[in-house]
Chain A
Protein backbone atom coordinates (compact mmCIF):
# COMPACT_ATOMS: atom_id res chain seq x y z
CA UNK A 1 0.00 0.00 0.00
CA UNK A 2 2.50 2.53 1.17
CA UNK A 3 4.77 2.14 -1.83
CA UNK A 4 2.17 2.44 -4.52
CA UNK A 5 0.59 5.31 -2.63
CA UNK A 6 3.79 7.28 -2.93
CA UNK A 7 3.74 6.97 -6.68
CA UNK A 8 0.12 7.08 -7.61
CA UNK A 9 -1.92 9.10 -5.18
CA UNK A 10 -2.88 12.68 -5.73
CA UNK A 11 -1.01 13.68 -2.61
CA UNK A 12 2.17 11.97 -3.71
CA UNK A 13 2.10 13.90 -6.96
CA UNK A 14 1.98 17.02 -4.91
CA UNK A 15 4.95 15.95 -2.81
CA UNK A 16 7.01 15.45 -5.93
CA UNK A 17 5.80 18.74 -7.29
CA UNK A 18 6.84 20.44 -4.09
CA UNK A 19 10.17 18.70 -3.73
CA UNK A 20 11.23 19.28 -7.32
CA UNK A 21 9.94 22.82 -7.11
CA UNK A 22 11.92 23.59 -4.00
CA UNK A 23 15.01 22.00 -5.49
CA UNK A 24 14.60 24.17 -8.55
CA UNK A 25 14.40 27.16 -6.25
CA UNK A 26 17.78 26.19 -4.85
CA UNK A 27 19.04 25.82 -8.38
CA UNK A 28 17.74 29.28 -9.20
CA UNK A 29 19.63 30.74 -6.28
CA UNK A 30 22.87 29.06 -7.37
CA UNK A 31 22.40 29.95 -10.98
CA UNK A 32 21.75 33.53 -10.04
CA UNK A 33 24.88 33.73 -7.93
CA UNK A 34 26.88 32.50 -10.93
CA UNK A 35 25.19 34.76 -13.41
CA UNK A 36 25.71 37.83 -11.30
CA UNK A 37 29.38 37.50 -12.18
CA UNK A 38 28.35 38.86 -15.55
CA UNK A 39 27.83 42.16 -13.77
CA UNK A 40 30.29 41.99 -10.93
CA UNK A 41 33.10 39.87 -12.33
CA UNK A 42 35.28 39.99 -15.40
CA UNK A 43 35.07 37.71 -18.40
CA UNK A 44 37.75 35.32 -17.25
CA UNK A 45 36.16 34.81 -13.90
CA UNK A 46 32.85 34.05 -15.54
CA UNK A 47 34.34 31.65 -18.03
CA UNK A 48 36.32 29.91 -15.32
CA UNK A 49 33.09 29.54 -13.42
CA UNK A 50 31.55 28.03 -16.55
CA UNK A 51 34.36 25.51 -16.76
CA UNK A 52 33.88 24.60 -13.14
CA UNK A 53 30.16 24.19 -13.65
CA UNK A 54 30.60 21.88 -16.61
CA UNK A 55 33.41 19.73 -15.29
CA UNK A 56 33.06 19.38 -11.52
CA UNK A 57 31.54 15.94 -10.86
CA UNK A 58 29.44 17.13 -7.92
CA UNK A 59 28.08 19.98 -9.98
CA UNK A 60 27.46 17.59 -12.83
CA UNK A 61 25.46 15.36 -10.58
CA UNK A 62 23.46 18.34 -9.36
CA UNK A 63 22.87 19.43 -12.89
CA UNK A 64 21.41 16.05 -13.75
CA UNK A 65 19.15 16.29 -10.73
CA UNK A 66 18.13 19.68 -12.03
CA UNK A 67 17.30 18.37 -15.48
CA UNK A 68 15.32 15.53 -13.98
CA UNK A 69 13.57 17.93 -11.65
CA UNK A 70 12.57 20.17 -14.49
CA UNK A 71 11.27 17.28 -16.54
CA UNK A 72 9.51 15.72 -13.56
CA UNK A 73 8.07 19.01 -12.41
CA UNK A 74 6.74 19.64 -15.89
CA UNK A 75 5.33 16.17 -16.50
CA UNK A 76 3.84 15.97 -13.03
CA UNK A 77 2.33 19.39 -13.55
CA UNK A 78 0.81 18.36 -16.85
CA UNK A 79 -0.60 15.18 -15.34
CA UNK A 80 -2.11 17.10 -12.45
CA UNK A 81 -3.59 19.65 -14.79
CA UNK A 82 -5.18 17.00 -16.96
CA UNK A 83 -6.66 15.29 -13.91
CA UNK A 84 -7.89 18.57 -12.58
CA UNK A 85 -9.60 19.41 -15.83
CA UNK A 86 -11.30 16.03 -15.79
CA UNK A 87 -12.56 16.61 -12.29
CA UNK A 88 -14.99 19.24 -13.57
CA UNK A 89 -16.34 18.19 -16.95
CA UNK A 90 -19.02 20.88 -17.02
CA UNK A 91 -17.85 24.32 -16.01
CA UNK A 92 -19.71 27.24 -14.56
CA UNK A 93 -21.52 29.80 -16.64
CA UNK A 94 -20.52 32.52 -14.24
CA UNK A 95 -17.32 32.52 -12.27
CA UNK A 96 -15.85 34.97 -9.86
CA UNK A 97 -12.53 33.40 -8.95
CA UNK A 98 -10.82 36.58 -7.87
CA UNK A 99 -13.19 36.64 -4.89
CA UNK A 100 -11.39 33.77 -3.26
CA UNK A 101 -7.97 33.19 -4.76
CA UNK A 102 -4.99 34.89 -6.35
CA UNK A 103 -4.47 34.96 -10.08
CA UNK A 104 -1.06 33.30 -9.91
CA UNK A 105 -2.33 30.38 -7.85
CA UNK A 106 -4.96 29.58 -10.46
CA UNK A 107 -2.59 29.84 -13.41
CA UNK A 108 0.41 27.85 -12.36
CA UNK A 109 0.10 25.56 -15.36
CA UNK A 110 0.19 28.43 -17.84
CA UNK A 111 2.96 30.16 -15.96
CA UNK A 112 4.85 26.90 -15.77
CA UNK A 113 4.43 26.23 -19.48
CA UNK A 114 5.75 29.67 -20.32
CA UNK A 115 8.70 29.07 -18.06
CA UNK A 116 9.31 25.75 -19.76
CA UNK A 117 9.36 27.46 -23.15
CA UNK A 118 11.75 30.00 -21.72
CA UNK A 119 13.99 27.31 -20.33
CA UNK A 120 14.13 25.58 -23.70
CA UNK A 121 15.03 28.76 -25.62
CA UNK A 122 17.44 29.70 -22.88
CA UNK A 123 19.16 26.36 -23.19
CA UNK A 124 19.25 26.53 -26.96
CA UNK A 125 20.82 29.96 -26.80
CA UNK A 126 23.41 29.29 -24.15
CA UNK A 127 23.61 25.79 -22.85
CA UNK A 128 23.56 24.09 -26.27
CA UNK A 129 26.06 26.53 -27.69
CA UNK A 130 28.29 25.97 -24.71
CA UNK A 131 28.03 22.20 -24.94
CA UNK A 132 27.82 21.44 -28.63
CA UNK A 133 28.55 24.38 -30.89
CA UNK A 134 31.67 23.59 -32.93
CA UNK A 135 32.18 27.28 -33.50
CA UNK A 136 32.04 28.16 -29.86
CA UNK A 137 34.56 30.97 -29.53
CA UNK A 138 37.39 30.68 -27.02
CA UNK A 139 38.21 33.56 -24.80
CA UNK A 140 40.89 35.90 -26.09
CA UNK A 141 42.51 38.98 -24.73
CA UNK A 142 44.41 41.83 -26.27
CA UNK A 143 47.77 42.61 -24.79
CA UNK A 144 49.75 45.69 -25.57
CA UNK A 145 53.28 44.53 -26.26
CA UNK A 146 55.62 47.36 -26.87
CA UNK A 147 52.94 49.47 -28.37
CA UNK A 148 51.65 46.68 -30.52
CA UNK A 149 48.31 45.18 -29.77
CA UNK A 150 48.36 41.46 -29.98
CA UNK A 151 45.56 39.01 -29.43
CA UNK A 152 46.08 35.96 -27.26
CA UNK A 153 43.95 33.03 -26.22
CA UNK A 154 43.68 32.67 -22.52
CA UNK A 155 44.61 29.17 -21.43
CA UNK A 156 43.47 27.27 -18.39
CA UNK A 157 46.96 27.08 -16.96
CA UNK A 158 46.90 30.85 -16.68
CA UNK A 159 49.05 31.34 -19.75
CA UNK A 160 48.52 32.85 -23.15
CA UNK A 161 48.65 31.53 -26.66
CA UNK A 162 49.02 33.96 -29.52
CA UNK A 163 45.97 33.91 -31.72
CA UNK A 164 48.14 34.33 -34.78
CA UNK A 165 49.49 30.80 -34.35
CA UNK A 166 46.01 29.43 -34.78
CA UNK A 167 45.30 31.69 -37.69
CA UNK A 168 48.53 30.49 -39.35
CA UNK A 169 47.51 26.87 -38.62
CA UNK A 170 50.61 26.27 -36.53
CA UNK A 171 48.26 25.39 -33.72
CA UNK A 172 45.05 23.57 -34.27
CA UNK A 173 41.95 23.63 -32.05
CA UNK A 174 40.61 20.18 -31.47
CA UNK A 175 37.63 19.09 -29.42
CA UNK A 176 36.53 22.74 -29.30
CA UNK A 177 38.94 23.75 -26.56
CA UNK A 178 42.19 21.90 -26.95
CA UNK A 179 45.22 23.55 -28.59
CA UNK A 180 47.36 21.10 -30.56
CA UNK A 181 50.71 21.59 -32.11
CA UNK A 182 49.89 21.04 -35.74
CA UNK A 183 53.20 19.53 -36.63
CA UNK A 184 53.75 17.26 -33.68
CA UNK A 185 50.06 16.59 -33.05
CA UNK A 186 50.69 17.13 -29.36
CA UNK A 187 48.21 18.78 -27.05
CA UNK A 188 49.57 22.04 -25.78
CA UNK A 189 46.93 23.63 -23.62
CA UNK A 190 43.24 24.16 -23.05
CA UNK A 191 41.36 27.33 -23.84
CA UNK A 192 38.31 28.84 -22.22
CA UNK A 193 34.99 28.66 -23.99
CA UNK A 194 33.92 32.26 -24.09
CA UNK A 195 30.42 32.04 -22.65
CA UNK A 196 30.80 35.59 -21.47
CA UNK A 197 31.19 36.80 -25.03
CA UNK A 198 28.29 34.68 -26.23
CA UNK A 199 26.08 36.22 -23.57
CA UNK A 200 27.17 39.77 -24.23
CA UNK A 201 26.88 39.34 -27.97
CA UNK A 202 23.44 37.87 -27.55
CA UNK A 203 22.05 40.76 -25.57
CA UNK A 204 24.01 43.42 -27.36
CA UNK A 205 23.15 42.18 -30.83
CA UNK A 206 22.26 45.21 -32.90
CA UNK A 207 19.21 43.61 -34.37
CA UNK A 208 17.83 41.27 -31.72
CA UNK A 209 19.52 42.37 -28.52
CA UNK A 210 16.72 44.61 -27.37
CA UNK A 211 14.03 42.05 -28.08
CA UNK A 212 16.04 39.36 -26.33
CA UNK A 213 16.41 41.59 -23.32
CA UNK A 214 12.73 42.40 -23.22
CA UNK A 215 11.74 38.75 -23.61
CA UNK A 216 14.12 37.79 -20.87
CA UNK A 217 12.67 40.38 -18.52
CA UNK A 218 9.15 39.24 -19.33
CA UNK A 219 10.13 35.65 -18.65
CA UNK A 220 11.37 36.77 -15.25
CA UNK A 221 7.98 38.33 -14.55
CA UNK A 222 6.40 34.99 -15.33
CA UNK A 223 8.89 33.26 -13.07
CA UNK A 224 8.14 35.72 -10.31
CA UNK A 225 4.43 34.98 -10.42
CA UNK A 226 5.11 31.25 -10.55
CA UNK A 227 7.29 31.52 -7.48
CA UNK A 228 4.93 33.87 -5.72
CA UNK A 229 2.47 31.03 -5.39
CA UNK A 230 4.82 28.10 -5.78
CA UNK A 231 7.27 28.77 -3.00
CA UNK A 232 4.85 28.85 -0.07
CA UNK A 233 2.64 26.31 -1.78
CA UNK A 234 5.45 23.76 -1.76
CA UNK A 235 5.67 24.01 2.00
CA UNK A 236 1.91 23.59 2.31
CA UNK A 237 2.04 20.50 0.10
CA UNK A 238 4.72 19.01 2.27
CA UNK A 239 2.61 19.65 5.32
CA UNK A 240 4.60 22.55 6.69
CA UNK A 241 1.93 24.90 7.90
CA UNK A 242 2.11 26.22 11.39
CA UNK A 243 0.85 29.56 12.59
CA UNK A 244 4.24 30.24 14.16
CA UNK A 245 6.23 29.80 10.97
CA UNK A 246 3.73 30.62 8.26
CA UNK A 247 4.53 34.28 8.46
CA UNK A 248 8.20 33.62 7.89
CA UNK A 249 7.59 31.22 5.01
CA UNK A 250 5.21 33.66 3.39
CA UNK A 251 7.53 36.65 3.73
CA UNK A 252 10.60 34.69 2.71
CA UNK A 253 8.72 33.16 -0.22
CA UNK A 254 7.53 36.53 -1.42
CA UNK A 255 10.99 38.00 -1.03
CA UNK A 256 12.51 35.11 -2.93
CA UNK A 257 9.86 35.27 -5.65
CA UNK A 258 10.50 38.95 -6.24
CA UNK A 259 14.22 39.27 -5.59
CA UNK A 260 15.50 36.31 -7.58
CA UNK A 261 13.74 37.10 -10.88
CA UNK A 262 14.48 40.78 -10.37
CA UNK A 263 18.22 40.15 -10.07
CA UNK A 264 18.12 37.76 -13.00
CA UNK A 265 16.40 40.42 -15.04
CA UNK A 266 18.93 43.12 -14.20
CA UNK A 267 21.68 41.11 -15.93
CA UNK A 268 20.46 41.42 -19.54
CA UNK A 269 19.29 44.94 -18.83
CA UNK A 270 22.77 45.79 -17.59
CA UNK A 271 24.41 44.08 -20.54
CA UNK A 272 22.18 45.68 -23.11
CA UNK A 273 22.03 49.17 -21.80
CA UNK A 274 25.00 49.74 -19.57
CA UNK A 275 27.86 47.37 -20.30
CA UNK A 276 30.34 48.31 -22.97
Chain B
Protein backbone atom coordinates (compact mmCIF):
# COMPACT_ATOMS: atom_id res chain seq x y z
CA UNK B 1 0.00 0.00 0.00
CA UNK B 2 1.12 3.49 -0.82
CA UNK B 3 -0.21 6.27 1.37
CA UNK B 4 0.09 9.98 1.92
CA UNK B 5 0.32 10.97 5.57
CA UNK B 6 -0.50 14.46 6.73
CA UNK B 7 0.87 14.70 10.23
CA UNK B 8 0.79 17.49 12.80
CA UNK B 9 4.34 18.46 13.72
CA UNK B 10 5.02 20.72 16.66
CA UNK B 11 8.36 21.05 18.39
CA UNK B 12 7.11 21.74 21.89
CA UNK B 13 4.22 23.15 23.86
CA UNK B 14 5.21 26.72 23.13
CA UNK B 15 5.99 26.56 19.45
CA UNK B 16 3.50 26.71 16.61
CA UNK B 17 2.76 23.55 14.74
CA UNK B 18 1.74 22.68 11.24
CA UNK B 19 0.65 19.78 9.10
CA UNK B 20 3.53 18.15 7.25
CA UNK B 21 3.05 15.72 4.40
CA UNK B 22 4.91 12.40 4.23
CA UNK B 23 4.56 9.84 1.48
CA UNK B 24 4.95 6.24 2.63
CA UNK B 25 5.13 3.00 0.70
CA UNK B 26 5.19 -0.73 1.33
CA UNK B 27 2.50 -0.76 3.98
CA UNK B 28 0.85 -4.11 4.61
CA UNK B 29 -2.74 -4.57 5.72
CA UNK B 30 -1.65 -6.79 8.63
CA UNK B 31 0.37 -3.98 10.17
CA UNK B 32 -1.07 -1.99 12.99
CA UNK B 33 -1.37 1.75 12.54
CA UNK B 34 1.44 2.36 15.00
CA UNK B 35 3.68 -0.14 13.25
CA UNK B 36 3.10 1.93 10.12
CA UNK B 37 4.28 4.98 12.07
CA UNK B 38 7.29 2.97 13.32
CA UNK B 39 8.27 2.41 9.70
CA UNK B 40 7.83 6.09 8.94
CA UNK B 41 9.99 7.00 11.92
CA UNK B 42 12.69 4.52 11.05
CA UNK B 43 12.88 6.15 7.64
CA UNK B 44 13.01 9.62 9.18
CA UNK B 45 15.80 8.63 11.57
CA UNK B 46 17.81 7.06 8.78
CA UNK B 47 17.46 10.29 6.82
CA UNK B 48 18.69 12.24 9.83
CA UNK B 49 15.32 13.78 10.62
CA UNK B 50 13.57 13.76 13.94
CA UNK B 51 10.91 11.07 14.23
CA UNK B 52 7.26 11.86 14.80
CA UNK B 53 6.53 11.73 18.51
CA UNK B 54 3.39 9.86 19.50
CA UNK B 55 2.23 8.26 22.72
CA UNK B 56 1.96 4.50 22.84
CA UNK B 57 2.82 1.76 25.26
CA UNK B 58 1.03 -1.55 25.64
CA UNK B 59 -0.03 -1.80 22.00
CA UNK B 60 -2.87 -4.09 22.94
CA UNK B 61 -5.57 -1.57 23.61
CA UNK B 62 -5.62 -1.50 27.38
CA UNK B 63 -3.15 1.05 28.74
CA UNK B 64 -4.87 4.04 27.11
CA UNK B 65 -1.59 5.69 26.25
CA UNK B 66 -2.07 5.87 22.48
CA UNK B 67 -4.27 8.56 21.09
CA UNK B 68 -4.27 10.14 17.61
CA UNK B 69 -7.09 11.76 15.68
CA UNK B 70 -7.03 9.91 12.39
CA UNK B 71 -8.96 11.20 9.41
CA UNK B 72 -11.34 13.08 11.63
CA UNK B 73 -11.93 10.36 14.22
CA UNK B 74 -10.34 9.52 17.54
CA UNK B 75 -8.49 6.19 17.17
CA UNK B 76 -9.37 6.18 13.48
CA UNK B 77 -12.21 4.74 11.48
CA UNK B 78 -12.58 1.35 13.19
CA UNK B 79 -14.92 0.86 16.14
CA UNK B 80 -14.17 -0.53 19.57
CA UNK B 81 -10.41 -0.24 19.13
CA UNK B 82 -7.60 2.05 20.16
CA UNK B 83 -5.11 3.35 17.61
CA UNK B 84 -2.68 0.59 18.47
CA UNK B 85 -5.31 -2.00 17.54
CA UNK B 86 -6.25 -0.22 14.33
CA UNK B 87 -4.96 -2.20 11.40
CA UNK B 88 -3.90 -0.85 8.05
CA UNK B 89 -6.41 -3.08 6.31
CA UNK B 90 -8.91 -0.37 7.19
CA UNK B 91 -7.26 1.84 4.56
CA UNK B 92 -6.91 1.62 0.81
CA UNK B 93 -3.94 2.04 -1.45
CA UNK B 94 -3.53 5.69 -2.34
CA UNK B 95 -5.40 7.03 0.70
CA UNK B 96 -4.46 10.29 2.33
CA UNK B 97 -4.46 10.03 6.10
CA UNK B 98 -4.60 13.02 8.41
CA UNK B 99 -2.98 12.33 11.77
CA UNK B 100 -3.53 14.96 14.44
CA UNK B 101 -3.19 15.12 18.20
CA UNK B 102 -6.25 14.96 20.44
CA UNK B 103 -7.37 18.57 20.62
CA UNK B 104 -8.63 20.23 23.77
CA UNK B 105 -7.65 23.13 25.93
CA UNK B 106 -7.29 20.65 28.77
CA UNK B 107 -4.98 18.45 26.62
CA UNK B 108 -2.13 20.77 25.61
CA UNK B 109 0.27 19.43 23.00
CA UNK B 110 3.67 18.41 24.35
CA UNK B 111 5.25 17.56 21.04
CA UNK B 112 3.91 16.51 17.64
CA UNK B 113 1.10 14.08 18.45
CA UNK B 114 1.80 13.78 22.17
CA UNK B 115 -0.61 15.57 24.46
CA UNK B 116 -0.70 16.12 28.21
CA UNK B 117 -3.70 14.38 29.71
CA UNK B 118 -2.84 14.99 33.34
CA UNK B 119 -6.13 16.88 33.67
CA UNK B 120 -7.72 13.42 33.78
CA UNK B 121 -5.49 12.48 36.68
CA UNK B 122 -6.40 15.62 38.56
CA UNK B 123 -10.07 14.85 38.19
CA UNK B 124 -9.38 11.44 39.70
CA UNK B 125 -7.41 13.00 42.55
CA UNK B 126 -10.49 15.03 43.38
CA UNK B 127 -12.60 12.00 44.09
CA UNK B 128 -11.89 8.97 41.94
CA UNK B 129 -11.56 6.64 44.88
CA UNK B 130 -13.26 5.03 47.80
CA UNK B 131 -11.82 6.28 51.05
CA UNK B 132 -10.69 3.03 52.58
CA UNK B 133 -7.26 2.36 53.95
CA UNK B 134 -4.98 -0.17 52.34
CA UNK B 135 -4.49 -2.21 55.47
CA UNK B 136 -6.38 -5.19 54.14
CA UNK B 137 -8.25 -5.28 57.43
CA UNK B 138 -11.57 -4.68 55.79
CA UNK B 139 -14.48 -7.01 55.96
CA UNK B 140 -14.51 -10.25 54.06
CA UNK B 141 -14.90 -9.77 50.34
CA UNK B 142 -18.08 -11.81 50.32
CA UNK B 143 -19.66 -9.99 53.26
CA UNK B 144 -21.77 -7.79 51.01
CA UNK B 145 -23.34 -9.66 48.12
CA UNK B 146 -23.59 -7.42 45.08
CA UNK B 147 -26.23 -8.15 42.46
CA UNK B 148 -24.53 -9.55 39.41
CA UNK B 149 -26.15 -6.95 37.19
CA UNK B 150 -24.74 -4.10 39.27
CA UNK B 151 -21.32 -5.70 39.44
CA UNK B 152 -21.31 -6.26 35.69
CA UNK B 153 -22.44 -2.72 34.93
CA UNK B 154 -19.83 -1.35 37.33
CA UNK B 155 -17.25 -3.40 35.49
CA UNK B 156 -18.42 -2.15 32.11
CA UNK B 157 -17.90 1.47 33.10
CA UNK B 158 -14.72 0.65 34.99
CA UNK B 159 -13.21 -0.66 31.78
CA UNK B 160 -12.56 2.95 30.76
CA UNK B 161 -8.89 3.26 29.82
CA UNK B 162 -8.68 7.03 30.22
CA UNK B 163 -7.40 7.55 26.69
CA UNK B 164 -9.33 10.77 26.12
CA UNK B 165 -11.00 9.75 22.87
CA UNK B 166 -14.28 11.03 24.30
CA UNK B 167 -12.81 14.49 24.76
CA UNK B 168 -11.14 14.42 21.36
CA UNK B 169 -14.33 13.38 19.58
CA UNK B 170 -16.67 15.72 21.38
CA UNK B 171 -17.27 18.92 19.50
CA UNK B 172 -17.18 20.65 22.88
CA UNK B 173 -14.11 18.79 24.16
CA UNK B 174 -16.20 17.59 27.07
CA UNK B 175 -14.87 15.02 29.51
CA UNK B 176 -18.27 13.88 30.70
CA UNK B 177 -17.98 10.30 29.49
CA UNK B 178 -14.67 9.82 31.26
CA UNK B 179 -15.78 11.41 34.52
CA UNK B 180 -19.14 9.72 34.50
CA UNK B 181 -17.55 6.32 33.99
CA UNK B 182 -15.68 6.60 37.28
CA UNK B 183 -18.61 8.19 39.09
CA UNK B 184 -20.85 5.43 37.80
CA UNK B 185 -18.55 2.62 38.80
CA UNK B 186 -18.57 3.67 42.42
CA UNK B 187 -22.18 4.81 42.46
CA UNK B 188 -23.24 1.32 41.40
CA UNK B 189 -21.39 -0.47 44.17
CA UNK B 190 -22.44 -0.45 47.80
CA UNK B 191 -18.86 0.31 48.87
CA UNK B 192 -18.87 3.49 46.84
CA UNK B 193 -22.31 4.76 47.77
CA UNK B 194 -21.21 6.07 51.14
CA UNK B 195 -19.37 9.05 49.70
CA UNK B 196 -21.06 9.15 46.32
CA UNK B 197 -22.38 12.67 46.72
CA UNK B 198 -19.13 14.31 47.69
CA UNK B 199 -17.39 12.39 44.97
CA UNK B 200 -19.58 13.57 42.15
CA UNK B 201 -19.54 17.19 43.29
CA UNK B 202 -15.76 17.24 43.64
CA UNK B 203 -15.02 15.47 40.40
CA UNK B 204 -17.35 17.69 38.39
CA UNK B 205 -15.90 20.79 39.99
CA UNK B 206 -12.40 19.70 39.01
CA UNK B 207 -13.59 18.79 35.52
CA UNK B 208 -14.97 22.30 35.08
CA UNK B 209 -11.81 23.88 36.40
CA UNK B 210 -9.71 21.99 33.89
CA UNK B 211 -11.47 23.77 31.06
CA UNK B 212 -13.33 20.92 29.43
CA UNK B 213 -16.45 21.83 27.50
CA UNK B 214 -20.03 20.96 28.35
CA UNK B 215 -21.93 17.91 27.32
CA UNK B 216 -24.49 18.58 24.63
CA UNK B 217 -25.47 14.97 24.25
CA UNK B 218 -24.28 14.55 20.69
CA UNK B 219 -23.26 11.00 21.53
CA UNK B 220 -19.99 11.19 19.59
CA UNK B 221 -18.03 10.04 22.64
CA UNK B 222 -20.03 6.86 22.97
CA UNK B 223 -19.45 5.98 19.33
CA UNK B 224 -15.72 6.64 19.46
CA UNK B 225 -15.03 5.16 22.89
CA UNK B 226 -12.75 2.16 22.34
CA UNK B 227 -14.29 0.46 25.36
CA UNK B 228 -17.91 1.09 24.46
CA UNK B 229 -18.77 3.11 27.57
CA UNK B 230 -22.38 4.14 27.19
CA UNK B 231 -24.12 7.50 27.50
CA UNK B 232 -26.10 5.87 30.25
CA UNK B 233 -23.20 6.61 32.56
CA UNK B 234 -23.42 10.31 31.74
CA UNK B 235 -27.11 10.25 32.60
CA UNK B 236 -26.25 8.45 35.81
CA UNK B 237 -23.78 11.16 36.70
CA UNK B 238 -26.32 13.86 35.85
CA UNK B 239 -28.69 12.13 38.23
CA UNK B 240 -26.11 11.70 40.96
CA UNK B 241 -25.04 15.29 40.68
CA UNK B 242 -28.59 16.59 40.73
CA UNK B 243 -29.37 14.66 43.88
CA UNK B 244 -26.09 15.69 45.48
CA UNK B 245 -26.66 19.36 44.65
CA UNK B 246 -30.14 19.68 46.03
CA UNK B 247 -29.40 17.69 49.15
Q: Do chains A and B touch in the complex (CB under 8 A)?
A: yes
Complex partner residue of B242 from A13, A91, A239, A242, CB under 8 angstroms: A239
Interface residue B112 (Cβ < 8 Å from any Cβ of A): no
Interface residue A55 (Cβ < 8 Å from any Cβ of B): no
The CA-CA distance from A14 to B245 in the complex, in Å, is 13
Q: Which of chain B's residues has its CB closest to A238's CB?
A: B238
How would you classify the secondary structure of chain B's contact residues: helix, strand, loop or mixed?
mixed
* Total number of B residues with any Cβ neighbor in A under 8 Å: 51
The CA-CA distance from A242 to B238 in the complex, in Å, is 13
* Given A80-B214, A91-B103, A108-B216, A6:B245 Cβ within 8 A: yes
The CA-CA distance from A159 to B224 in the complex, in Å, is 68
The CA-CA distance from A80 to B204 in the complex, in Å, is 16
* B232–A241 touching, CB < 8 Å: yes
Q: Which of chain B's residues has its CB closest to A3's CB?
A: B245
Interface residue A87 (Cβ < 8 Å from any Cβ of B): yes
Interface residue A240 (Cβ < 8 Å from any Cβ of B): yes
User: From residue B165, how far is it (CB to closest CB) to chain A in Å?
Assistant: 10
* Given A2-B247, A100-B224, A88:B105 Cβ within 8 A: yes
Inter-chain contacts of B213 with A (CB < 8 A): 10, 83-84, 86-88
The CA-CA distance from A10 to B208 in the complex, in Å, is 7
User: From residue B138, how far is it (CB to closest CB) to chain A in Å?
Assistant: 29
Inter-chain contacts of B103 with A (CB < 8 A): 88, 90-92
The B176-232 residues at the A interface (CB cut-off 8 A) are: 201, 204-205, 207-208, 211-220, 223-224, 231-232
Complex partner residue of B246 from A6, A13, A237, CB under 8 angstroms: A6
* Given A84-B173, A99-B73, A11:B204 Cβ within 8 A: yes
Inter-chain contacts of B240 with A (CB < 8 A): 239
Interface residue B174 (Cβ < 8 Å from any Cβ of A): yes
The CA-CA distance from A86 to B104 in the complex, in Å, is 9
* A13–B201 touching, CB < 8 Å: no
The CA-CA distance from A15 to B214 in the complex, in Å, is 12
* Total number of A residues with any Cβ neighbor in B under 8 Å: 45
The CA-CA distance from A14 to B180 in the complex, in Å, is 15
Interface residue A185 (Cβ < 8 Å from any Cβ of B): no
* B201–A239 touching, CB < 8 Å: no
Inter-chain contacts of A102 with B (CB < 8 A): 218-219
Inter-chain contacts of B204 with A (CB < 8 A): 5, 9-11
The CA-CA distance from A168 to B237 in the complex, in Å, is 71
* B238–A233 touching, CB < 8 Å: no
Interface residue B69 (Cβ < 8 Å from any Cβ of A): yes
Instruction: Bits for A53-94, please: 1 = Cβ < 8 Å to B, else 0.
Output: 000000000000000000000000000100110111111111
The CA-CA distance from A5 to B147 in the complex, in Å, is 32
Q: Which of chain B's residues has its CB closest to A90's CB?
A: B103
* A9–B208 touching, CB < 8 Å: yes
Instruction: Bits for B74-99, please: 1 = Cβ < 8 Å to A, else 0.
Output: 00010000000000000000000010
Complex partner residue of A92 from B72, B106, B241, B246, CB under 8 angstroms: B72
Interface residue B244 (Cβ < 8 Å from any Cβ of A): yes
* A97–B6 touching, CB < 8 Å: no
Interface residue A229 (Cβ < 8 Å from any Cβ of B): yes
User: From residue B7, how far is it (CB to closest CB) to chain A in Å?
Assistant: 10
Interface residue A236 (Cβ < 8 Å from any Cβ of B): yes
Interface residue A122 (Cβ < 8 Å from any Cβ of B): no
Given contacts A87-B105, A100-B218, could you give 18 more A-B pairs where the C-beta distance is less than 8 Å? Answer: A1-B201, A2-B245, A5-B201, A84-B216, A86-B213, A87-B172, A88-B213, A90-B103, A92-B98, A97-B72, A97-B220, A99-B223, A100-B219, A100-B224, A101-B171, A101-B218, A238-B242, A239-B237
A-B contacts, 16 of them at CB < 8 A, read: A1-B201, A8-B208, A10-B174, A10-B214, A11-B204, A11-B237, A84-B174, A87-B172, A92-B98, A93-B98, A100-B73, A101-B223, A102-B219, A236-B238, A241-B234, A241-B236
The 5 closest A-B pairs by CB, nearest first: A96-B72, A239-B239, A241-B235, A87-B213, A84-B172
